[in-house]
Structure 1
Amino acid sequence: MDEGTYNIDIVGFHGTSLESAQKIITEQNFTSGDIRNDHWLGQGAYFFREDPEQAKIWAKSKIKGSETAVIKTIVSLDNNSFLNLDTRSGLNYFNRYIKTEVKRKILEEKAEIELTTDDHSKIKHIYRCFFCNELPTNIKAIQRTFFVQSTLNEDETFKKMDVFVQGVQVCIRDLSVIDFTKTGINNVINMHTFRRRKKTKQKRKL
């Protein structure tokens, strides 16, 4: 991306079931999950950057009936292997690649983006997932910040400042950039404790 070469270290947090977390640590391997056409940043292992709380909340919202855990890891790579879609240079690279390499592939191979829904809110994920999956293999990680639904967004002071909860997602496409010697369980969330805390917050709100 013509910016000179420098190293990037990312502290990532991955929410999952406790059983899966223990398996990841033991086997030193993250699975990329189900192959879908609507992943937010394409196929890969997902982490919240420097945000263990968001990883915890995500895990509890997606995994029902079992204890969950948050894994902490260090991702180390150079900037030429990292596509940061929160930056102007990253978006410029993405735009050029789509309009040249991906367009050429679509024309030559007659590839099509398969839309499996009429839901416009989901269609954008399908498009983004398709183009991220078409990136070259030297792009080992992709980052993008997304808006997150939260009661904090209803705070009047935050609204006046235009401050909202956001989650910085990092999709790891090449697991070789994960340092498994610095990977471990950051915390375990007991579902009963989580429910009690949630009820307490709701009572305070009332």
Structure 2
Amino acid sequence: MRQVLDSFFSYLENIQNLTPSSIDRLARLSSVVRLNKNEILQQIGKTCRTIYFVNHGAARIFYYKDGLEITEYFAFEKDLIIRAESLFTNQPSQKGIICMEDTEFISIPSEPLFSLFDSHHDIERLFRKLIQNAYVETVRRIELIQFNTAEERYQALLANHPEVLQKVPLKFIASYLGITQVSLSRIRGSLS
């Protein structure tokens, strides 16, 4: 497990320099969670109390609307995956997190992590940057939906996540783009 965490902390240090003391405190809080394809990381209706990073594999955030399963977000290697609206409000989430393949997560419980922010300002800065980046990505996704065609959204997804076609079934890609699988097939055909 230590090798997995060392690699993870190297990645985090590219975002924010961390003191040895901060790395030690984070290491003591962190654990590795391994789930199989189609296993649920977080159930719908549960309150999010943990911050997860995908170390290897792929996961997605999903919800149900009018009986249809909708994909909101894909997470690949080194991506943060949380239910922010639940984590920060301490309310149950209407969304769940599921693995799209065998996936290894780094798990950090939020309450002890947040309690470190006052004494370890570098940890606070790191997570502020991570949350800011996630917020910007969310705004970009909303703007893609508002201002771009389905074809442009598909091309942007491929540009930002070239691995998506190897890791994600087309029905989830279509759902994420807000289109039917038939429309996605047409788009893919026109781009071939």
Higher relative helix content: 2
Higher relative strand content: 1
Q: TM-score, normalised by structure 2?
A: 0.26
Q: TM-score, normalised by structure 1?
A: 0.25
Greater relative contact order (Cα < 8 A, sep 6+): 1
